[in-house]
Amino acid sequence: MGGAVRWRGLLAHGVAALFCAAILLPLLWLVRVALTDKLTAYKLPPEWVTPRLHNFVEIFTDYPFLTYFINSVVVAAGSTAVALPLAAMMAYAFARYDTGGLPLRLFVLSSQMLPPVILVLPLFALFLWAQLLNTWFALIIAHLTISLPFLSWLLVAFFQGDVRLLEQAARIDGATRFQAFLKVTLPVTAPGLLSAGLLAFILSWNEFLFVLILSGPQTNTLPVGLSAFQTQRGVELALLSAATLVAIAPVFVLLPFMRRYLIKGLSLGALK
């Protein structure tokens, strides 16, 4: 019996190890290539040279990588800053007052089911008319079409949980609806709101299609900017790797926080 359990454990670990390898190997490869020079980057089987950081310097000095980075930060932070409070209000209305009932909720969700490419052309036409193409503002609005419905759907669950009873306790204690929201609901659901915000940030950070169509060289964000590394002098593999690593670094920094808050948010642990 003990043997069977051990075998099953080994099997589970084996599968997990394979899974990790599938995810990690490309990343490790990326790190290796980013630390080599332009020529060795192409060599197969891989050749080991003294790791050097010059690629990381070059992307900032010889390419507009810093501009892309700043664009990404502004657009991701901007769209999140707008989406989070709006989505929280919408989700609260859904959860507490059943505003619009199921039809409205499904309508909000259905906007997520459209392929983004269907949205991008009308948006292009609108921004062209409003002379907003190639601005941060346009990108922030475009990314809101993704994050706002997604977040408002996600946050409904946070407001429907145990916090509802806490809000009622506060109302009995003498709080108005708004006071109960401000002093009880908001602090209690803060971890959930924060993790949802991080999620929105990452969504915007990684978005490609809208940026490709709606922005130009001055406002390109990282995903589109990175694709430029492939076209100037063939594929600059080493530079591209270094740029990719810098581009995904914030996601890696944010993910652990998001995981922690998301779990905390989902199990408020308020009542037992």
Binding site for other proteins (CB under 8 A): 162, 165-166, 168-176, 179, 183-184, 187-188, 268-272
- For residue 191, the minimal CB distance to other proteins (Å) is 10
The DSSP secondary structure of 168-184, one letter per residue, reads HHHHHTT--HHHHIIII
- For residue 159, the minimal CB distance to other proteins (Å) is 15
- For residue 184, the minimal CB distance to other proteins (Å) is 6
Is 228 or 268 the residue whose CB approaches other proteins more closely?
268
Is 132 or 175 the residue whose CB approaches other proteins more closely?
175
- For residue 269, the minimal CB distance to other proteins (Å) is 6
Q: Which two tokens stand for residue 10?
A: 């080994």
Is 175 or 251 the residue whose CB approaches other proteins more closely?
175
- For residue 241, the minimal CB distance to other proteins (Å) is 44
**93 CB contacts (<8 Å, ≥6 apart)?**
99
- For residue 33, the minimal CB distance to other proteins (Å) is 47
**217 CB contacts (<8 Å, ≥6 apart)?**
64
Is 187 or 216 the residue whose CB approaches other proteins more closely?
187
**150 CB contacts (<8 Å, ≥6 apart)?**
112, 199, 200, 203
d(CA 86, CA 92): 10
Q: How far is CA 266 from CA 56, 194, 269, in A?
A: 39, 12, 9
Is 84 or 184 the residue whose CB approaches other proteins more closely?
184
Is 112 or 267 the residue whose CB approaches other proteins more closely?
267
Q: Count the helix, strand and coil residues of the chain and give each as a percent rounded to the nearest 5.
A: 75, 0, 20
Phi, psi of 147, rounded to the nearest 5 degrees: -75, -30
